[in-house]
Amino acid sequence: MHRNEALNRLIDMQMSFLKSACLYVATKLEVANFLAEGPKSVDEIAAATGSDSEYLYRVLRYLAGQGLFEEQPGRVFRLTAMSELLRTDCEGSFHPFTLINSEWGFEAILELLSGVKEGRIPFEKRFGKHPFEYMKEKPEFAALMERAWQGVHWPETDAFLDAYDFNGVRKLADIGGGHGDVIVGFLERDDRRSGALFDIPPVASQFEERMAQLGLEKRCEAIGGDFFQAVPVKADAYFMRHIIHDWNDEECIKILKNVGANCEKGNRVLIAEWVITEPNAADMGKLLDIEMLLYLTGRERTAQEYSDLLDAAGFEYSGITPTDSVVSVVEGVYAG
């Protein structure tokens, strides 16, 4: 690599925090909502958002260069496919994720260096408690976090329901299933199927209401509990989306063993996560791994690391199914 190219890449890397900051400004001001009515001048946008027109223009001009908006003659801006996702009324809006990562992540990142040196969660160091404990005390944070991850995860649901071969799976248990999109999608694709959603009691209760609204209560059960204590569910396959990456190896093995305690030989565990690729390759999973480092004890893992976890918990690693989304389905079969 030529020295000038190396320098330009370093400059871009070092100044990338400015990209996130400008994205946060546009998100917090809900510029995308205002532009949903059609192209508007920066003066109109500034008046609607209570902003200084010149300062706002410089931010939007930069973002337009990144494809977030399109700048037209006369300092007029319009939405693009990217900024459509920042509208608060769009399905799977990216608006909550940007807010959570900015308003809490920007602070937590200040502790990244000390976290790396001490082996401690930067968020916990900055805010004084683990994010899951913080959510119990800050309902607004918990609600925003839930909407944030729904926005990131919703495109994955159909992707892995389409990609994975569910042949032989009559009953699927979604462990830590949250809103229940996966189990609902699984059931709606075949009326001979049944399912179960296991999550903490308040979430399970909410899902019971959703089942009744969808008319699925006869084919699905909602079970409340703590997967570190037990997973009292019998099923042909156990699905976990972005659960394993929240926890360290010891904690993951505990969860998987609790799943295995109710398994019969041949039952499957399906882990939907980013899978880290080979060294030196650009990989979104490696970036998300830094996100995990910032907030939790967990991490994104390689195929070998997932195989090792499954083996330690009594499952045989049997492969990975890629999907049309950023996640893959890692499969383990209970050895019995």
What tens digit of pLDDT does each residue of 216-269 get? 999 999 999 999 999 999 999 999 999 999 999 999 999 999 999 999 999 999
At residue 155 the predicted structure's pLDDT band, cuts being 50, 70 and 90, is confident
At residue 151 the predicted structure's pLDDT band, cuts being 50, 70 and 90, is confident
**What's CA 167's distance to the chain center, in Å?**
27
**What's CA 203's distance to the chain center, in Å?**
17
Residues carrying an active site annotation: 245
Integer CA distances (angstroms), 329 to 29, 113, 240, 270, 273, in order? 37, 33, 9, 6, 7
At residue 274 the predicted structure's pLDDT band, cuts being 50, 70 and 90, is very high
What's the pLDDT at 82?
96
> pTM of the predicted model, to two decimals?
0.90
Contact 311, 154 (CB under 8 A): no
Residue 277 phi, psi (nearest 5): -90, -165
Give tens-digit pLDDT for 27-47: 999 999 999 999 999 999 999
Q: Which domains, and CATH codes, for the chain?
A: 3-88 (1.10.10.10), 165-334 (3.40.50.150)
Give tens-digit pLDDT for 49-74: 999 999 999 999 999 999 999 999 99
What's the pLDDT at 146?
81
Mean pLDDT of the chain: 94
152 has pLDDT over 80? no
153 has pLDDT over 80? no
Type of residue numbered 176: G
Task: Identify the burial level of 36 via C-beta atoms within 10 angstroms of its C-beta, where 0-12 means exposed, 13-18 middle and 19 or more buried.
Answer: middle
Give tens-digit pLDDT for 290-328: 999 999 999 999 999 999 999 999 999 999 999 999 899
Residue 246 per-residue DSSP state: G
What's the pLDDT at 315?
98
At residue 138 the predicted structure's pLDDT band, cuts being 50, 70 and 90, is confident
What's the pLDDT at 111?
97
Contact 244, 255 (CB under 8 A): yes
Q: Which one, of 138, 129, 182, lies nearest residue 160 by Cα? A: 182
Task: Identify the burial level of 228 via C-beta atoms within 10 angstroms of its C-beta, where 0-12 means exposed, 13-18 middle and 19 or more buried.
Answer: exposed
Q: How far apart are CA 331 and CA 315, in angstroms?
A: 9
Contact 171, 235 (CB under 8 A): yes
Residue 79 phi, psi (nearest 5): -75, 155
Q: How many CB atoms lie within 10 A of CB 292?
A: 18
Contact 26, 32 (CB under 8 A): yes
Give tens-digit pLDDT for 178-225: 889 999 999 999 999 999 999 999 999 999 999 999 999 999 999 999
Contact 36, 93 (CB under 8 A): no
What's the pLDDT at 96?
93
Residue 262 per-residue DSSP state: T
What's the pLDDT at 150?
78
At residue 148 the predicted structure's pLDDT band, cuts being 50, 70 and 90, is confident
At residue 136 the predicted structure's pLDDT band, cuts being 50, 70 and 90, is confident
What's the pLDDT at 267?
97
